Copies of this chain bind each other. A is one copy, B any other.
Amino acid sequence: MERKLKEVDAMAANHMDNGFYGQDIISVGQFDRTKLDYILNVADEMKVVVERFGGVNLLQGKILANLFYEPSTRTSSSFMAAMLRLGGQVIPINNVQYSSVTKGESLPDTVRTLESYADIIVIRHPEVGSAATAARYAGKPVINAGDGVGEHPTQALLDLYTIVEGLGEVGGLKVAMVGDLKFGRTVHSLTKLLVNYPVEFIFVSPDILRMPKDVLDVVDASGHLYEESEDVHDMIGDVDVLYVTRVQKERFTDLAEYDQVKDRYVVDPELMARAKERMIVMHPLPRVNEISYAIDNDPRAAYFRQMRNGMYIRMALLAAVLGKA
């Protein structure tokens, strides 16, 4: 993605150039180690600020257009909370399908309208590439909050931040991703971020839901090692990060096959008894039954911390892009 300086806050001329100011956030591919370190550090500061004071007025007078073409309570609420805790304001735009879009308006026109009102646009859209399209037409910064089976970079960043928060550093960790690795947008994006660090990957899935070749190619090209496995029980004692995703019935044409594999990927107290004492269990949520409620109070269960960390990461990104971090 080319680096263009968008028309952001003219008052912030003397900001420090952190590489984010005036930029769009569309893909995990934009992040190298320097940028990751920067954002993780700012997220850490945001955490301190929220815990001590509830928030900080960095973005007073700024407006975020929160444009959701498909519902996602979790992600839209997280961006909203992030903006509000920075002293900014939010225009929530949900159910766009019922609105001018049904009258046939194009995404570029919608985006150009909203940037007339707002200082930054967050977009969630079911089609791959839609966030990049929005960014191309917008003069104001655009943040991708998920474009179909494409990317969801802020999710990958919050996942990374949760690993650092939980285990101190990323280098040297054994990271197992478990469940539906074929269609799971989050595991693809997180893998692409993690190749910036010296980690080992273990990909655990039913055969028909293996990690796609293009993601494995990224791992290979970066010189990282990975194993593949079909059973989470084999490797549970070795892993530092267990990243769980749901194995959905709908993915299987042969339901007998589904019934055979489904329980192999459930995380329950029995499985956790065999896990390291210092490790974390992650999940992008929502979960159904792939993680038992019985482990929610296990200190290794990190999935609710992921939610809170999502707010810190988004605060960091909003502040950085608007030149106030």
Contact = CB atoms under 8 A, between A and B. Distances in A.
Contact of A118 (B81, B95, B109): B81
Contacts of A54: 9, 61-62, 119
Nearest to A108: B293
A92 B91 CA distance: 9
A101 B72 CA distance: 10
A318 to B, nearest CB: 14
Interface residues of A, number: 56
A322 to B, nearest CB: 11
B116 A307 contact: yes
Given A73-B96, A100-B73, A286-B103, A63 B84 contact: yes
A89 B92 CA distance: 13
A101 B54 CA distance: 28
Interface in A23-63: 51-55, 61-63
A78 interface: yes
A80 B103 CA distance: 22
B77 A109 contact: no
Contacts of A274: none
In the assembly, how many copies of this chain are there?
3
Contact of A77 (B71, B91, B108, B288): B91
Interface in A87-119: 89, 91-96, 98-101, 103-105, 108-110, 112-114, 116-119
A81 B91 contact: yes
A99 B110 CA distance: 23
A92 B66 CA distance: 13
Contact of A71 (B53, B95, B110, B117): B95
B95 A92 contact: no
A308 B9 CA distance: 16
Contacts of A100: 71-74, 285-286
A193 interface: no
Interface of A: 9-11, 51-55, 61-63, 65, 71-74, 77-78, 80-81, 84-85, 89, 91-96, 98-101, 103-105, 108-110, 112-114, 116-119, 285-288, 293, 304, 307-308, 310-311
10 contacts: A54-B62, A73-B101, A77-B113, A81-B91, A81-B117, A100-B286, A103-B288, A109-B285, A109-B286, A113-B304
